[in-house]
Chain A
Amino acid sequence: MARICFRDAALAAGWIAIIGVSLPAGPAFAQAPSSDLPTRMRDANQWPMAARDYANTRYSELDQINTSNASQLQLAWTFSVGADRGQEAAPIVIDGTMYVVGPYDGPYPNRVFALDATTGELKWSYAPRPEPAAKGVACCDVVNRGLAFDNGKIFLNTLDNHTVAIDAKNGKELWHTKLGEINRGETITMAPVVVKGKVLVGNSGGELGVRGWITALDEDTGAIKWRAYSTGPDSEVLIGDDFKPFYDSLKGKDLGVTSWPADRWQVGGGTVWGWISYDPELNLIYYGTANPSPWNANQRSGDNLWTAAIFARDADTGRAKWAYQINPHDLFDHDEVNENILVDLEINGATRKVLIHPGRNGYMYVMDRATGEVISADAYDHVNAYKGVDLKTGRITPNGEKTPNLGQTINDICPAAPGAKDWQPSAWSPRTKLLYVPHQHLCMDFKSSEVGYIAGTPFIGASVDMYAGPGGYRGEFMAWDPAAKKKVWEIHEKLPVWTGTLVTAGDVTFYGTMDRLFKAVDARNGNVLWQFRAGSGFIGQPVTYRGADGQQYVAILSGVGGWPGVVANAEVDPRVRNAALGFTGATQDLPFYTAGGSELLVFKLGPAPTKDNGNAQPR
């Protein structure tokens, strides 16, 4: 019954390298109805975008699975996406159909599957045709963080820089637009977000000298409506008279040029590969930018704006309303693409519209999302690379003793290069008023090391030697109270916790570990209620929805790979520590725990276990 639809022959002629290409849309799309996404976000049966809602809460009103019965969870069905590489994608669920995308690998890179969300039956699949040149040029990161949906269309970002619209009913391609150039090191790994009929997409590849941008495409035609760069002149960053940053150091003309050595902003990084949130009342989108390029800082004096920063932009025009730079002149690869969660928070007796940003630098930022003022910024993990955030000036205080400098060995820099937390998104429960944060707990030594060699050019490399932070564990899943500015409970994990999380009205929160466990946790106290040992480790994003049978389901992809596998290498074991030359590490301790995988796992409640039942679920 399953119907397989690959791109048809007419379209298979290859990607058309024209910006803003638009294929004529069918009559059904002639007059675009207003977005139906907000309605779906209010329907707990669905999971309509990777972050579930525009506020990026990853909170579901479903409560069939709760703290008293989560122990009865069992596998309902599974599905293979066909490529054993890092599986970071969030499945999305629309009207009883689940849409999921695989990594950029295998015979059909970035293949999209539509599955009956209740039975797992395959309805259709779609496989983009990558540029042949992409192989061998794409560097390291082949993950895809998920799809988007609006008005009957699925939106896919491919690693080789295409955004594709697919008919959600039958898997037929509607349009595609090329947004970047993989031959310049540019890639796309983030999940697109649709706001008011525009598909928002950002690029990756900062370490290769890519200049970061976010681009808005018309959801019906694929035409580019606007693009805002993260570096360069105000005209290209979309900064105008209505730009009102809160802090004086961020006011001035063309700071995206003048905070760099001459012309260096052109290869300055600041890519946009994380999460986008949206406040409909303020009509602002929020996202963070990545680290400046090159990582080594001594050839890029200045603050290097607008890298490692948060932007608030008008959702219609892309024009910046405010910005805040979290890490001026970043020294550690602490890019700040992490999620910005929009909540109303009681602070000192007043309700504030805030944005919560768990920083890569180890600080939990609570900001006024209308103005860009930092209300608080408190360390949520062990931090010694910085000495705190000055709330008057908004500037972080670097710790001069931890400045990497080739020729010197700088020991014990915390957090390490991946930060206290990387891309893996947190969840917010309006019931507990707690933020659930999966993150890593790593420190590093920076030293000059072996000879490196790229494109025929030798150099003395810098090596970053990562290891478990104080306490000897590498990962943590924790609940944080942003009003009280403190950790409420925590679970330590041997390996970095690289999955996203979700939380439900049943007060259950879920996350996965790299050593193959998927866990349900009591959101109020951190008690582990249930766990499942899967085929491969987890670095994906859990989602939950209600099936046609009225059952609540929880789904996540299993399969480690890519960066996370390398981060996992940060073992306190001297036998393997030095293997991670610049993260390329061939030897890792991860293979001791898991191999790669490609399995979508879907769970629901089974019958309550009864005594004397030999077939009861093993626990």
Chain B
Amino acid sequence: MRSLVSSAFLLAMAGSAAAGPDALRVCADPNNLPFSNRAGEGFENKLADMVAQRFGKPVVYTWWAQRRGFVRRTLNAGNCDLVMGVPAQYNLAETSQPYYRSTYVFVSQTARHLQLDAIDAPQLRKLRIGVHLIGNDGNNTPPAHALGQQGIVDNVRGFMIYGDYRQPDPPARLIEAVEHGEIEVAAAWGPLAGYAATKSKIPLTITPIVAGEQFAPQQFQFDIAMGVRKGDHALRDQLNDFIAHNGAEITALLASYGVPLVEKRRSSAAGEQR
């Protein structure tokens, strides 16, 4: 019943940042499943509903494409107070305890029987591979970096992470290219690939990418937390409490979206210097 109320309130307030102090004000991308969308279909939308229900508040969204400037123009502009998913070591926000850890994966049509898990596997020199490209500064996704570092370039097709924002969920084009056979394998962030595999009409195989230390500081697994404005310890503490007491529910939610979950390694060989 409570979630119905919050949905109705959400509709009433859609597009408005003028929520009262008694709302859970969430900053989110309106067009990026499986994470979030304006229709509330992403697992971050569902997680926001869970948090709001626990806090006894309605959810109000500030929508903004999650790219450079997102935190500056939403969270740090004071328009909203919470980003449902950010890396646990994220300089732009104060982060909660991580609530899941996922991994970059290879995704391919099951019928291809690729048996692929290492980022330095010899067959990667032959396969048609798709990766996301970032563009800004020296940034790229870990697989794009690691393949480039090995000189695997000519058989790699780059998909801009930004895509065409008129289309639904622009980063999903990479996985669709696997379904359509334009590429034989994609190296993608787990939640995106895992969700696509649950939806795809063509059976897809997901395997976590294994990478050795030669690719440091790049890392292929990341802890994901919730982000609040720096200094907003009160909300962070409430969120930590929520995460501590709802681990099973959260994990079930993620599993229902096909998010590949990995255990945190005891010592991190690569990255996470902080």
Knowing A454-B134, A457-B171, say if A184 contacts B66 (CB, 8 Å): no
CB–CB A301/B153 < 8 A:
yes
**Cβ contact within 8 Å between B92 and A299:** no
For the side of the interface on A, what is the size category?
Answer: 35 or more
The reply to whether A451 and B87 form a contact with Cβ atoms under 8 Å apart is yes
14 interchain pairs, CB-CB under 8 A? A181-B164, A263-B157, A293-B135, A294-B158, A298-B149, A299-B153, A448-B217, A450-B91, A451-B222, A454-B66, A455-B65, A456-B191, A457-B161, A581-B92
* A215 in the interface (beta carbon within 8 A): no
Shortest C-beta distance, B21 to chain A (Å), equals 24
List, in ascending order, chain A residues with CB within 8 A of B155's CB: 262
Bound: A613/B222 CA distance, A: 71
Question: Given that A185-B160, A299-B153, A457-B189 are known contacts, is A294 also in contact with B218, CB under 8 Å in the complex?
Answer: no
Q: Are the C-beta atoms of A446 and B138 separated by less than 8 Å?
A: yes
- B interface residue count range (under 10 / 10 to 19 / 20 to 34 / 35 or more): 35 or more
One of A131-139, A369-377, A597-605 contacting the partner: A131-139
Binds B, one of A114-122, A226-234, A249-257, A582-590: A582-590
Q: Once the chains bind, are A453 and B86 in contact (CB under 8 Å)?
A: yes
Residues of B within 8 A of A453 (CB): 66, 86-87, 90
User: Given A406-B145, A446-B138, A584-B72, is A299 in contact with B133 using a C-beta cutoff of 8 Å?
Assistant: yes
Determine if A296 and B139 form an interchain contact, defined as CB atoms under 8 angstroms apart: yes
Which B residues touch A48, using CB under 8 A? none
**B171, A450: Cβ atoms closer than 8 Å:** no
A136 and B64 within 8 A (CB) = yes
Taking the closest CB of chain A, its distance from the CB of B132, in whole angstroms, is 6
Q: A530–B23 Cα gap in the complex (Å)?
A: 55
A178 to chain B, nearest CB (A): 13
B87 contacts across to A, CB distance below 8 A: 451-453, 458
Determine how close the nearest CB of chain A comes to the CB of B82; give it in whole angstroms: 15
Verify A136–B63 contact, CB threshold 8 A: yes
Judge if A113 is at the interface, Cβ distance under 8 Å. no
- Additional A-B contacts beyond A455-B29, A459-B142 (12; CB < 8 A): A133-B166, A267-B158, A294-B136, A298-B148, A298-B149, A299-B158, A333-B137, A451-B91, A454-B162, A456-B29, A457-B132, A457-B161
Report yes or no: B139 in contact with A295, Cβ–Cβ below 8 A: yes
B217 touches A407 (CB 8 A): yes
Q: Which residues of B are interface residues toward A (Cβ below 8 A)?
A: 29, 32, 35, 63-69, 72-73, 76, 85-87, 89-92, 131-142, 144-145, 147-149, 151, 153-158, 160-166, 170-171, 189, 191-192, 215-219, 222, 224, 271, 274
Residues of B within 8 A of A583 (CB): 137
Give chain B nearest CB distance to A350 CB in angstroms: 45
How far is B262's CA from A213's CA once the two chains are assembled, in angstroms? Answer: 44
Nearest A residue to B174 via CB reads A457
Q: Could you tell me if A454 and B165 are in contact, using CB atoms closer than 8 angstroms? A: no
Chain A, residues 258-278, CB within 8 Å of chain B (1/0): the string is 000111100100000000000
**Are A456 and B154 in contact, CB atoms less than 8 angstroms apart?**
no
Do A455 and B32 have beta carbons less than 8 Å apart?
yes
A18 adjacent to chain B (CB < 8 Å): no
Q: Is A404 in contact with chain B by the CB < 8 A criterion?
A: yes
Are A262 and B140 neighbours in the complex by a CB distance under 8 Å? no
Interface string of A134-159 (1 = CB under 8 A from B): 00110110000000000000000000
Distance in angstroms between the alpha carbons of A139 and B66 in the assembled complex: 10
> B134, B160, B192: which contacts A459 (Cβ < 8 A)?
B134
- Chain A residues with CB under 8 Å of chain B are 133, 136-137, 139-140, 181, 183-185, 207-209, 261-264, 267, 293-296, 298-301, 333, 404, 406-407, 417, 446, 448, 450-464, 581-584, 586
Contact of A407 with B218 in the complex, beta carbons under 8 Å: yes
A185 CB contacts on chain B under 8 angstroms = 160, 162
CB distance from A146 to the nearest CB of B (A): 25
- In the bound complex, residues from chain A placing their C-beta under 8 Å from that of B148 are 296, 298-299
Question: B135, A208: Cβ atoms under 8 Å?
Answer: yes
With contacts A183-B165, A407-B218 taken as known, whether A450 is within 8 angstroms of B89 at the C-beta atoms is yes
Chain B residue numbers with a CB within 8 Å of A459 are 134, 139-142, 218
Contacts of A181 in B (CB 8 A): 164, 166
The distance from the CB of B95 to the nearest CB of chain A, in whole angstroms, is: 10
Q: Are A456 and B85 in contact (CB under 8 A)?
A: yes
Report how far A559 CA is from B134 CA in the complex, Å: 31
Shortest C-beta distance, A411 to chain B (Å), equals 15
Q: B189–A458 contact, CB under 8 A?
A: yes
Q: In the complex, what distance in Å separates the CA atom of A583 from the CA atom of B92?
A: 13
Question: Are B218 and A406 within 8 A (Cβ)?
Answer: yes
Q: A456-B35, A456-B171, A458-B189 are in contact. Are A299 and B156 (CB under 8 A)?
A: yes
B96 to chain A, nearest CB (A): 15
In the complex the two chains form, what is the Cα distance from A586 to B161 in whole Å?
24
Distance in angstroms from B168 CB to nearest chain A CB is 12
Q: How far apart are the CA atoms of A185 and B161 in the complex, in Å?
A: 11
Residues of chain B lying within 8 A (CB to CB) of residue A586:
72, 76, 92
Given the known inter-chain contacts A137-B165, A209-B160, please indicate yes or no for A452 contacting B134, CB distance below 8 A: yes
- B162 and A462 within 8 A (CB): no
CB A511 to nearest CB in B, in angstroms, measures 29
Most buried by A among B139, B157, B191, B192: B139
A324 → B minimal CB distance (Å): 25
Q: Which residues of the other chain, A, contact B66 by a CB distance below 8 angstroms?
A: 453-456
CB pair A140 B68 closer than 8 Å: yes
Note all chain B residues with C-beta closer than 8 A to A209.
133, 135, 158, 160, 162
User: Is A460 a contact partner of B218 (Cβ separation < 8 A)?
Assistant: yes
- Determine which of A183, A264, A462, A464 lies in contact with B158 in the assembled complex, contact meaning CB atoms within 8 Å: A264
Measured between C-beta atoms, what is the minimum distance from B127 to chain A in Å? Answer: 13
Residue numbers in A under 8 Å from B219 (CB-CB): 460
Residue of B nearest to A407 (CB): B217
> Which chain B residue lies CB-closest to A183?
B165
Bound: A40/B227 CA distance, A:
57
Indicate if the CB atoms of A451 and B134 lie closer than 8 Å: no
A267 to chain B, nearest CB (A): 5
Q: Which of A137, A404, A453 has the most CB of B within 10 A?
A: A453
> Known: A183-B165, A295-B136. Is A454-B68 also a contact (CB below 8 A)?
yes
CB–CB B141/A457 < 8 A: yes
* Given A267-B158, A299-B140, A299-B147; A456-B72 close (CB under 8 Å): no
Q: Please give the distance in Å from B192's CB to the nearest CB on chain A.
A: 7
Q: Which of B69, B133, B137, B224 has the most CB of A within 10 A?
A: B137
Closest B residue to A293 by CB, please name it. Answer: B135
Cβ contact within 8 Å between B140 and A582: no
Q: In the bound complex, what is the Cα–Cα distance between A453 and B151 (angstroms)?
A: 25
Contact with A455, one of B86, B151, B161, B216 (Cβ below 8 angstroms): B161
